[in-house]
Structure 1
Amino acid sequence: MAKRFEINTTQQLTNMGMFGAAGFVLGPVVSALCYAWFIREAARSFGDPTLAAIGMILGSLACLIGLVLVIVGRVQSHLVREIEPQPAGVKGLWES
C-alpha cells in the first residue's frame, strides 16, 4: 500500500508584506482623493492641478507596487507528516 502524507501550510506576511498590503489598500484611496482635488483645481480659473495629478500617479503606483510587495513579502511554512494506513477491514467513505 502506498504511503499517505498530510501537508499543512501556513502563510505570514513580513514587514515588507504588511507595507505592501497598506499600499495596495490605501493607494486607490489616495488616488481618489487626489482626483477630487484635481477636478476642483481644474474647474477654477487660476487653479494649478499639477500637485493633484502627481498625487494620483503616486497613488496608482503605490497600489501596483503594493501588490508586488504582498506577493514577495510573505513566508510560507509547511508541516508534513505521514498518516497511518487504515486497517484492511475498514472501508472508506466512497468504497462500497
Structure 2
Amino acid sequence: MTLKLTSWDSAAHLRSPEDIALYLDACLEEAGDDVEFIAKALGNIARSHGMTQLANDTGLGRESLYKALSADGNPSFATVLKVMRALGLQFRVKVAA
C-alpha cells in the first residue's frame, strides 16, 4: 500500500477573519520567542488575503512583503502593525497565566 502525502498550506485554509484571528492567536501562543515563526505565520495570512492587495493596502512593496513575512524574514514592528491593520486585525494584551 502506497501512502500519498501532500504539502500543507495554511494559507489555503484561512478563509474568514475569524479563521485568521484564531490561527494567529495559536501561532503567537506556540511561537514563544521564535520571531521567525510569527513572521511566517503573518506571511501565511498575507498570502491567504492576497499579497498584491496587501501591498496596496499597506503602501509597501509586494516583494518586500514576501521577504519580510517569510520564515527568514525579520519585519520591523512598523511593518507588522501595517500588515495587521490592513488585515483588519489588532493586538490585545492580557496578563500571562
TM-score, normalising length from structure 2? Answer: 0.27
Q: Which has the higher strand share?
A: 1
Higher normalized contact order (CA 8 Å, seq sep 6+, divided by chain length): 1
| Larger-gyration structure (1/2) | 1
